[in-house]
Structure 1
Amino acid sequence: MKAADLVIIGNGMACHKLLAELVQQPGRPVRILVFGAETKAAYNRVLLSSLLAGELADEAAELSPADWYQQHGIELVLNDAVVHLDKDKKQLISRTGLVVHYQQLVLAVGAQATKPAYAKTALPGLCTFRNWQDLAQLREVAAKGGKAIVLGGGFLGLEAAEGLRKQGMQVTLLQRSSYLLNRQLDPTAATLLQQQLEHRGLHVFTNITVSKLLQQDQKFSGVLLADGTELKADVLVMALGISPDLQLAQQAGLKTDVGICVDAQLRSSDPDLFALGECCQFGEHTFGLVAPIAAQAQVLAAVLSGQHASYQPSDSSTQLKISGIQLSSCGDIPTLLQQHDLQQFCYQDQQHHDYRRLWLDAEQRLVGAVCLGDTSLSGFYAELINQHSVIRCSTELLFGPAVFGPAQIAA
């Protein structure tokens, strides 16, 4: 049996950020053991679409050199998932039979790709786009050419679709909602984005429901839509969102809801077990973006090193880049679109494909912002939202600090 002061299960971006913070802490746990289910050490998942498109070399996604873990006295076990966790004995067992006793443990197991009911059964030609194995599979598919269908008009779906299109495939993207990126954009921004993507050769259909998959020779061959339309394709990429991985937490008897429930110190219902990143839930919040997970890692590194620290979610700007198209979003956009008592201000430059839309509440506080094209003001808007600043001159806010100065913020 091995022993460790700290075990981290999951070697993704959240784990790597935590380790990067821990190695700077003088009071960090001494014996750190990390389990990674993949064959590859932590990499930048955000770059998977750029790798698929052939825009970057594989090395660009590496978060640290191969010997980084050893240099910092961290034992890394790859290609070996933890299959059993006993919180009472403080013991775990891996798939290969490795038994480890720990003092403290962090679950950084991430999330699983959501699959529709009609695609639960494994079928050649069905893919997700979450990890390095998915990347390898899609590269193999793209090398053969042909047609691809991508389910999901969120960020991951758009990135997968653009990556396959750049590799020469004919790509059709199907979105259940009435417009793309419906959690980040308003309809106008989404329409402008769709026009740019269609101009490049991507086929986009919204308000679409898939009824079932089509098969030929026991392989995926297309989809049947609710209106009876059949779309033929060689591969189906499912990008319908993610769900926190709760399997180990539930098996160990930890409190879970949508995610693994944690407090402001990222501590679970067991005082020696913590959760970080996509798998955790703080209050009503779950997490899938880099900025909040990085903030969690800073807090957790301090806590594991014996310091006092607390995590509080903030409304940071969601910065996205889809094949060269910049966009950002601040605030709960779907909720804001349903409120009719808010002031709205818009700016659009069709020639340069720039668009901005702002929402202010009845007290003249900025509560939401969407930018497409020029996103340089997104950080400025996020700061105003977090500060709950009262705005004196609303229209000038569209043009940022160069026009809108401190004098236009009420004391």
Structure 2
Amino acid sequence: MTEAELIIIGNGMACQRLLAELVQQPNRPARIVVFGAEAKPAYNRVLLSSLLSNELPDSAAELVRPDWYAEHNIELICDDAVVLIDRERKLVVSRHGRYRRYRQLVLACGALPLTPGYANKNANNNANNNANDSNRTLRPAICHFRNWQDLATLRLAGQQLQHAVVVGGGFLGLEAAEGLRKLGMQVSLLQRGAYLLNRQLDASAAGLLQQQLMQRGLNIITNSEISSLNYRRGQLQSVALKSGQQLKADLVVLALGIRPNIGLAQQSGLSVKHGIIVNRNLQSSDSAIYALGECIELNGETFGLVAPINAQATQLAQTLCGKPAAYCSEHAATQLKISGIALSSCGDIATLCANAGSFDACTDYLDAELNEYRRLWWRGPYLVGAVLYGDTGLSQQLSQLIKQQQPYHGCRSALLLGKVEPGLINSTATPAAVSEPQQQDAA
């Protein structure tokens, strides 16, 4: 049985970024083995929606050339998830019977999509299924939008079916709905809350977004949830909403969010809560096992954006090569593009919208003709939140003010319009202090 200096479980974007960082280290682990549950090597999940709508070719999602792994002495094992970690013997066992010993182990297991009860084949669905198995537990004509298999399912549906219902008004739900609409389907999108993207936008920005998307042909229903699915002879016919409304449906796409994939870690006896518990060195409760990405929990926080996960990969690569480095969480701006519509937000927008006592004042800008909107939230001289719709050119400046918590004493209206007085925003911030805006739910 061969021993690897390093084994990585999970071959998603977090793993690939870690590998890219490791191969640049002069004292990197000589032998690295990667186990992936999917049949395809790591790809850019952020681009799935663009592939669905045929805006980009499949090749655009490739992160590295197929021969990159062999060039760097990395053994990549696809379509073979690890099912057992023997911590005492430092051994992993895969579904297809592969055994590998390790000196160091990294869990990059990602996250699993949330599945409501009405979508499960049976109520006793195993919550620890890996991402490659998630669709096997779903009733007919229901799928998630999370991986390459889901992309293939939705492409086929776009060719054969007419009516789709997408559940979830977050980024992935909106992108799935727009992609299916562009394939010619009639699409209804259901949002449980009062407005779309309610964690990133305020009601005004969300209203502009909903108006634009409905003008394109999407049927968007807020404050709505499915109560039941109606089948006839095994074929999905419609969905019933809790309001009593019936919607035609040949397909239901679930985009209700994610939860850290902790099943393997839990089975192995590692400390877990919402995610795999790690310290600032991204080390688990076992000193030989580390974790990063969507599967971890650090000081009560979980992660689903590209920027912090990339930062974790950079730090962890140094630690694995003998130069321990601590990861410090930063709240970068979330910058999204929904089918050509640019959005950006920074700060705890959900709390600011729900609690008027969490800020002192707001400044707003709206150009209805150009579909441009901005709102800034203030607490004393400090900017604590920003939402931009249509034109996001100010995103990085505003994000810098929020993250560094430097007081702003200039004209707030001028800041809102991008006419900042010289010297009022520190322009000497280091690159590490100002993270590039990133798309949501990418790792």
TM range (shorter): over 0.9
Tell me the CA shift for residue 90 of structure 1: 0.8
Deviation, 1:32, is: 0.4
Aligned to 1:126: 142
Are the equivalent residues in 2 in contact too, given 1:123–1:220 (CA < 8 A)?
no
Contact 2:408/2:424, CA 8 A, preserved across alignment = no
Distance (whole Å) between structure 1 residues aligned to residue 139 and residue 11 of structure 2: 28
1:16 CA displacement: 0.4
DSSP 3-state at the match of 1:286: coil
Question: Within the alignment, does 1:279 sit opposite 2:309 as a pair?
Answer: no
Give the structure-2-normalised TM-score: 0.90
2:274 pairs with one of 253, 258, 266: 258
Instruction: Give the Cα separation in 1 of the matches to 2:160 and 2:306.
Output: 33
Q: Is 1:395 paired with 2:413?
A: yes
Residues 21-59 of structure 1, C-alpha deviation per residue, up to 9 Å, x if partnerless? 001111111110001111110000000000000111100
Counterpart amino acid of residue 306 in structure 1: G
The alignment status of 1:307 with 2:337, answered yes or no, reads: no
Residue of 347, 350, 364 corresponding to 1:331: 347
- 1:46 maps to 46
Match for residue 346 of structure 1 among 344, 364, 383: 364
Aligned-residue offset at 1:359: 0.7
Distance 2:373 2:139 in 1: 42
User: Partner of 2:11 in structure 1?
Assistant: 11
Unaligned runs of 5+ in 1: none
C-alpha root-mean-square deviation of aligned residues, in Å?
1.1
Moved more, 333-342 or 251-260: 333-342
Q: Distance in 2 between matches of 1:145 and 1:224?
A: 19
Letter in 1 for 2:391: D
- 2:305 aligned partner: 289
Residue 108 of structure 2 is aligned to residue 108 of structure 1: yes
User: Who is 2:70 aligned against?
Assistant: 70
Structure 1 residue 405, shift from structure 2 partner: 3.0
Aligned positions of 1:139-288 closer than 5 A: 139-288=155-304
Deviation at 1:308, TM superposition (A): 2.5
Of residues 334, 348, 372 in structure 2, which corresponds to 1:318? 334
Code of the residue aligned with 1:348 in structure 2: it is: L
> 2:227 touches 2:240 (CA, 8 Å); kept in 1?
yes
Moved more, 91-100 or 335-344: 335-344
Conserved? CA contact 2:401–2:425, under 8 Å: no
C-alpha distance in structure 1 between counterparts of 2:24 and 2:425, whole Å: 41
Superimposed CA distance per residue, residues 208-235 of structure 1 (whole angstroms, 9 cap, x where no aligned partner): 0211111111232221111211111100
2:385 matched to which residue of 1? 368
- The amino acid across from 1:264 in the alignment is R
CA distance in structure 2 between the partners assigned to 1:219 and 1:62 by the alignment: 35
Q: Letter of the 1:157 partner, please give it.
A: G
What letter corresponds to residue 171 of structure 2 in structure 1? F
Deviations 1:168-222 (A, max 9, x none): 0000000000000000000000000001100110110000021111111123222
Q: Identify the range of structure 1 (11-20 vs 207-216) with the bigger mean alpha-carbon deviation.
A: 207-216
**Residue deviations 1:53-85, cap 9 Å, x none?**
011110000000010111111110011000111
CA apart distance, 1:408: 6.7
Q: Counterparts of 1:24 and 1:404 in 2: how far apart (Å)?
A: 42
Q: Which runs of 5+ in 2 are unaligned?
A: 122-137, 427-443
TM-score computed with the length of structure 1 as normaliser: 0.97
Cα distance per residue 1:306-348 (max 9 Å; x no partner): 1121111111000111110110110110111123242111111
Kindly tell me the number of residue pairs found equivalent between the two proteins: 407
Cα 1:274/1:91, change in 2 over 3 Å:
same
SS of residue in 1 equivalent to 2:369: coil
1:89 equivalent in structure 2: 89
Secondary structure in structure 2 of the residue aligned to 1:406 = coil
Equivalent residue of 2:356, what SS?
A: coil
- What is the alpha-carbon distance in structure 2 between the residues aligned to residue 376 and residue 145 of structure 1? 39
| Alpha-carbon distance in structure 2 between the residues aligned to 1:247 and 1:317 | 31
With over 3 angstroms needed to count, the CA separation of the structure-2 counterparts of 1:288 and 1:407, relative to structure 1, is: closer
